Each structure stands twice: as structure tokens, then as C-alpha cells.
């Protein structure tokens, strides 16, 4: 079977409802997608305390990334006087879509961008999959694995384990 035309297989837009209007965000160009991916990777590295490529952040700062990721929807939102928090949330949602996928963008959008509102869904998924348990299994220990061994005795320099008690050696001790 030959490959089908990709534009027939992919839905290359996301629909964002704001104040009664649905804005269609088109797929970004390859250049915008690659730059967005690089920017978010750099942000993740910076958030983890790593060293960030200044060129990546400098390039992103020079461009209006929100307008680029929203495409034609950006001009419509500005013309409709969409409030800044809504436009920002739309742009961040588009970035999630670009760097991850549509399902992740929907979760981000529906959580209002608040990561704590995403947590219950993860807990629900874990509970459904059986991954989360309310109690430890009987065989579990306090984070250790393998057989339990008694703690080793502290030994000072030149000390050896003592015998259980004094023996009569006939030396008059």
C-alpha cells in the first residue's frame, strides 16, 4: 500500500474557544516549530539549573514568538481585543501542541495552564491502571531490597571482635 498524502492524515490546526469565538490556530512552519522546540528545551534545561545556550534564548527574545505560534489567529485575537491572559494562554497552549501533541495541548488548555489542576488526571489514570496502591505489599521494606542484615559494628583502629566472655587462661587475670 503506498503512502497516503500527509495533509489528508493530519489535522493541522487546533481550535481555541475564547469568549464565544473559536480561533483556529494553524500548524506553524517548520522553522517556527523547530525554534519553539529549541526554546522550550532550553527553558527546561534552565529550570533544572543547567547551562543554557544564550543564542537560542537570544533568538527567541528577538522575535514575537506568540504571534508566530498562533499564526493568523494572533491577528484575529488582537483585533477582537482578547485580554492578555487569554492570548498568553492560547500561545502557551499552541507551544504545548507544537512541542508535544494535540492531547497534551488540550489538557494544558483545560487546566488553565495550572499544573496542579493536571495532577488529579494523572492520579486517576494511575488508579485505573493499578499502578497506584494505597498500601505497600507485605514483602516490601522501608525502601531496601534484599535480605535484611544486622547493622555492622563500629570498629576502631586495631580493634577486633571480642569473644563472648572471659576465658580462663590460667594467667591469673
Average pLDDT, integer, range 50-79 = 82
Determine how many CB atoms are found less than 10 A away from the CB of residue 33. Answer: 16
Q: Which residue has the cell 529550570?
A: 47
- Asked if the model's pLDDT at residue 173 lies above 50, the reply is no
Residues 95-138: pLDDT tens digits?
999 999 999 999 999 999 887 877 655 555 566 555 545 555 45
pLDDT at 72 over 90: yes
pLDDT on residue 111? 92
Q: What are the residue ranges spanned by the domains of the chain?
A: 11-112
Task: Express each pLDDT in 29-64 by its tens digit.
Answer: 999 999 899 888 888 887 778 777 776 666 555 568
The three-state DSSP-derived secondary structure of the chain is CCCCCHHHHCCCEEEEEECCEEEEEECCCHHHHHHHHHHHHHHHHHHCCCCCCHHHHHHHHHCCHHHHHHCHHHHHHHHCCCCHHHHHHHHHHHHHHHHCCHHHHHHHHHCCCCHHHHHHHHHHHHHHHCCCCCCCCCCCCCCCCCCCCCCCCCCCCCCCCCCCCCCCCCCCC
Residue 11 has pLDDT above 90, yes or no: no
Mean per-residue pLDDT for 84-104?
94
Q: Which residues contact 108 (CB under 8 A, 6 or more apart)?
A: 92, 93, 96, 118
Residue 114 is predicted with a pLDDT of 84
CA distance 43 to 52: 8
**Mean confidence (pLDDT) of the chain:** 76
Per-residue confidence at 21, pLDDT binned at 50, 70, 90? very high
Cross-strand partners of 15: 24
Determine the Cα–Cα distance for residues 67 and 87; give it in Å rounded to an integer.
Answer: 10
Q: What pTM was computed for the model? A: 0.62
The CA-to-CA distance between both ends of the chain, in Å, stands at 97
Residue 147: the pLDDT is 53
Q: Which residue has the higher pLDDT, 152 or 64?
A: 64
Does residue 94 surpass a pLDDT of 80?
A: yes
Amino acid at each position: 500500500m503506498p503512502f497516503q498524502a500527509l495533509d489528508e492524515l493530519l489535522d493541522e490546526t487546533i481550535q481555541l474557544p475564547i469568549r464565544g469565538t473559536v480561533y483556529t490556530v494553524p500548524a506553524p512552519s517548520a522553522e517556527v516549530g523547530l525554534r519553539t522546540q529549541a526554546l522550550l528545551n532550553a527553558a527546561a534545561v534552565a529550570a533544572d539549573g543547567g547551562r543554557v545556550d544564550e543564542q537560542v534564548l537570544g533568538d527567541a527574545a528577538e522575535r514575537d514568538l506568540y504571534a508566530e505560534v498562533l499564526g493568523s489567529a494572533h491577528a484575529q485575537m488582537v483585533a477582537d481585543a482578547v485580554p492578555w491572559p487569554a492570548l498568553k494562554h492560547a500561545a502557551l497552549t499552541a507551544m504545548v501542541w507544537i512541542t508535544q501533541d494535540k492531547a497534551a495541548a488540550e489538557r494544558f488548555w483545560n487546566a488553565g495552564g495550572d499544573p496542579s489542576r493536571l495532577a488529579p488526571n494523572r492520579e486517576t489514570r494511575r488508579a485505573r491502571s493499578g499502578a497506584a496502591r494505597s498500601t505497600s505489599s507485605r514483602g516490601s521494606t522501608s525502601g531496601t531490597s534484599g535480605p535484611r542484615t544486622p547493622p555492622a559494628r563500629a570498629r576502631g583502629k586495631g580493634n577486633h571482635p571480642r569473644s563472648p566472655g572471659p576465658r580462663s587462661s590460667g594467667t591469673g587475670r
